[in-house]
């Protein structure tokens, strides 16, 4: 997808999203029906100015360039669809995440209540559902209480799909607004669907709503369901803590999701205060020797009598690969760590009791909490305003606390990671007082290989300009939408 870049004074750059009028001429426009809608009649300003944009970096230097901006979301004066012309569809793809049903509900209610759109179809079972399953009709009544349930009423799937069949189905069913809820793989799919739609010259808006419980989608402040996941993780951490403090030398070990990024583990740890050590994929750790995990565990048990460890599922991947000491290699880092800690202390005179809790799927199967429900509503309504205004090929999401339309390619570029040289990780280290694992002793052997070899060469590189810093680009995690 060709970037649509608009430049202005003082280094101002707008990374704009496509519009139907970019490839279709003489499109009719209509006054926005919201101006007759009692819900909006109370607002001071019905419509967003077309020139309103949102800056990516909230912190600016007085002499620095104005930097990258994204188009601000919101209702526009003119719409490019008359309500009775619209057939919208909604599809959910990938793993579960709290809030999926809320987004579906608010898309259906928003389309109907704000714009009078009545034809709304649910695509079942993810992308393949476009051609392998029948659609279901969605109405405000049929989705009324679905936000109280976990999962997705539409079903979901991972894996491949046939692009041409999806776009054929869109054409055959006369769908002209496609709302796609899913993670980076799904947004990549949305991007190619948009390109194919454009190639065929169809008046169809393709809109992405970003979803990942791991909160690792770039550019946006946070993804929906993340708050709920962090909150739900507290229950597992509390249980681990209760178990650990009830026995002598008790260790509670909790595994949380995060195959490639440790945001859930980091925020769940910061929220809890009962966690003594948090292990994430971005911060390689080592077991033996000064500054290692075993030494820290022994100290904690000596000082406190118990401890809690939180491990993200992707942490220590490299340690596992190098488990050449004859131990059974566990695919599950939680099981592996549990086994390896027990084995180590069995050889010392410290009698430990370790309880391992794996709440991963329980955490993502719950309904969204209050703050995620509000967030999902804002996302859904923002998505609808953009589609009605004729925008397409975009993902909706908060940047610096303001909802924006972001071109697909930005979202799928590179997943976000915890930057361990940023202040948020330092805050965690200061809160748990755990080792930073930054200085492994040179001759320490981990699973038969020198420790240095587990340190990715770029682990301490300064992040690039575009990289999301937890510090300055995740304000929404704790701030407003
Ligand atoms: O979407 C990312 C994620 O939450 C990972 O952290 C986790 O490993 C994965 O989903 C598990 O999902 P599934 O078992 O459905 O593949």
Burial of residue 311, with CB atoms counted within 10 A of its CB: 0-12 exposed, 13-18 middle, 19 or more buried: buried
How many angstroms is it from 31 CA to the middle of ligand 1?
43
Q: Residues near ligand 1 with C-beta < 6 Å?
A: 95, 183, 212-214, 257-259, 313
Protein residue with least CA distance to atom 10, ligand 1 = 95
Q: Could you tell me which of 474, 473, 406 has the C-alpha nearest to residue 190?
A: 406
User: E-strand spans in 202-318?
Assistant: 205-210, 250-256, 277-279, 306-312
Instruction: Let me know if domain 4-223+368-411 sits in CATH 3.40.50.450.
Output: yes
pLDDT in tens, the chain (481 residues): 778 999 988 889 999 999 999 999 999 999 999 988 888 777 767 789 988 999 998 888 888 888 899 999 999 999 999 999 999 999 999 999 999 999 999 999 999 999 999 999 999 999 999 999 999 999 999 999 999 999 999 999 988 899 999 999 999 999 999 999 999 999 999 999 999 999 999 999 999 999 999 999 999 999 999 999 999 999 999 999 999 999 999 999 999 999 999 999 999 999 999 999 999 999 999 999 999 999 999 999 999 999 999 999 999 876 655 454 444 455 789 999 999 999 999 999 899 999 999 999 999 999 999 999 999 999 999 999 999 999 999 999 999 999 999 999 999 989 999 999 999 999 999 999 999 998 777 655 443 333 333 333 333 233 333 333 333 333 333 222 2
Strands 177-182 vs 277-279: parallel, antiparallel or unpaired: unpaired
Residue ranges of domains in the chain? 4-223+368-411, 232-365+435-451
Protein residue with least CA distance to atom 14, ligand 1 = 95
Active site members: 214
Mutate to test the pocket of ligand 1, among 94, 183, 212, 257 (most ligand atoms within 8 A of CB): 257
How many angstroms is it from 212 CA to the middle of ligand 1?
9
The CA distance from 314 to 422, in Å, is 20
Protein residue with least CA distance to atom 12, ligand 1 = 95
Q: Could you tell me which of 181, 222, 213 has the C-alpha nearest to residue 401?
A: 222
Mutate to test the pocket of ligand 1, among 229, 259, 317 (most ligand atoms within 8 A of CB): 259
How many angstroms is it from 466 CA to the middle of ligand 1?
25
Whether 404 contacts 72, CB under 8 Å: yes
Whether 239 contacts 227, CB under 8 Å: no
Strands 136-137 vs 119-122: parallel, antiparallel or unpaired: antiparallel
Protein residue with least CA distance to atom 8, ligand 1 = 259
User: E-strand spans in 223-358?
Assistant: 250-256, 277-279, 306-312, 353-357
Protein residue with least CA distance to atom 15, ligand 1 = 95
Mutate to test the pocket of ligand 1, among 214, 232, 365 (most ligand atoms within 8 A of CB): 214
Q: Could you tell me which of 407, 380, 327 has the C-alpha nearest to residue 114?
A: 380
Task: For residue 417, count other CB atoms closer than 10 A to its CB.
Answer: 19
How many angstroms is it from 412 CA to the middle of ligand 1?
17
Predicted confidence at residue 65, as pLDDT, reads 83
Cα maximum dimension of the chain: 82
- The radius of gyration of the chain from alpha carbons, rounded to an integer in Å, stands at 24
Predicted confidence at residue 318, as pLDDT, reads 66
CATH of 232-365+435-451, one of 3.20.20.105, 3.40.50.460, 2.60.40.10, 3.40.50.970: 3.40.50.460
Question: Does 4-223+368-411 match 232-365+435-451 in CATH topology?
Answer: yes
Q: What is the three-class DSSP state of 362?
A: helix
Predicted confidence at residue 439, as pLDDT, reads 78
The CA distance from 3 to 70, in Å, is 12
pTM, rounded to two decimals? 0.90
């Amino acid at each position: 997808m060709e970037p649509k870049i608009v430049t202005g004074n003082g280094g101002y750059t707008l990374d704009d999203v496509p519009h139907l009028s970019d490839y279709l001429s003489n499109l009719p426009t209509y006054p926005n029906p919201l101006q007759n809608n009692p819900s909006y009649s109370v607002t001071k300003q019905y419509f967003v100015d077309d020139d309103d944009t949102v800056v990516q970096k909230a912190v600016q230097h007085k002499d620095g360039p104005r930097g990258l901006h994204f188009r601000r979301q919101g209702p526009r004066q003119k719409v490019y669809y008359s309500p009775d012309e619209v057939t919208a569809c909604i599809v959910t793809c990938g793993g579960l995440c709290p809030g999926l049903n809320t987004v579906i509900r608010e898309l259906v209610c928003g389309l109907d209540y704000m714009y009078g759109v009545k034809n709304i179809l649910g695509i079942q079972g993810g992308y393949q559902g476009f051609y392998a399953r029948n659609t279901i009709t969605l109405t405000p009544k049929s989705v009324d209480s679905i936000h109280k349930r976990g999962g997705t009423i539409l079903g979901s799937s991972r894996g491949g799909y046939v692009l041409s069949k999806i776009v054929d189905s869109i054409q055959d069913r006369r769908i002209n607004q496609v709302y796609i809820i899913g993670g980076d793989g799904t947004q990549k799919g949305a991007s190619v669907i948009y390109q194919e739609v454009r190639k065929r010259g169809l008046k169809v808006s393709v809109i992405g709503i970003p979803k990942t419980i791991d909160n690792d989608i770039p550019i946006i402040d946070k993804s929906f369901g993340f708050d709920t996941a962090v909150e739900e993780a507290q229950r597992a951490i509390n249980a681990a803590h209760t178990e650990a403090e009830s026995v002598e030398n008790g260790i509670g070990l909790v595994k949380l999701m995060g195959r490639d990024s440790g945001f859930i583990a980091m925020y769940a740890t910061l929220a809890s205060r009962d966690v003594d050590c948090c292990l994430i994929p971005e911060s390689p750790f080592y077991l033996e020797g000064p500054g290692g995990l075993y030494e820290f565990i022994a100290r904690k048990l000596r000082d406190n009598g118990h401890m809690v460890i939180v491990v993200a599922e992707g942490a220590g991947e490299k340690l596992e690969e190098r488990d050449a000491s004859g131990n059974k290699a566990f695919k599950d880092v939680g099981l592996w760590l549990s086994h390896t800690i027990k084995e180590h202390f069995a050889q010392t005179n410290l009698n430990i009791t370790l309880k391992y809790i794996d709440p991963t799927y329980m955490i993502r199967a719950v309904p969204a909490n209050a703050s995620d429900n509000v967030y999902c509503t804002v996302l859904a309504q923002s998505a609808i305003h953009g589609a009605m205004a004729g925008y397409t090929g975009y993902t909706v999401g908060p940047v610096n606390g303001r909802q924006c339309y972001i071109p697909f390619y930005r979202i799928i570029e590179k997943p976000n990671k915890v930057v361990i040289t940023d202040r948020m990780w330092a805050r965690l280290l200061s809160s748990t007082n755990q080792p930073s694992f930054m200085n492994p002793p040179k001759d320490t052997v981990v699973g038969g290989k020198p420790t240095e070899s587990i340190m990715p060469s770029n682990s301490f590189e300064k992040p690039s300009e575009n990289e999301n810093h937890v510090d300055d680009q995740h304000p929404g995690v704790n701030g407003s939408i």
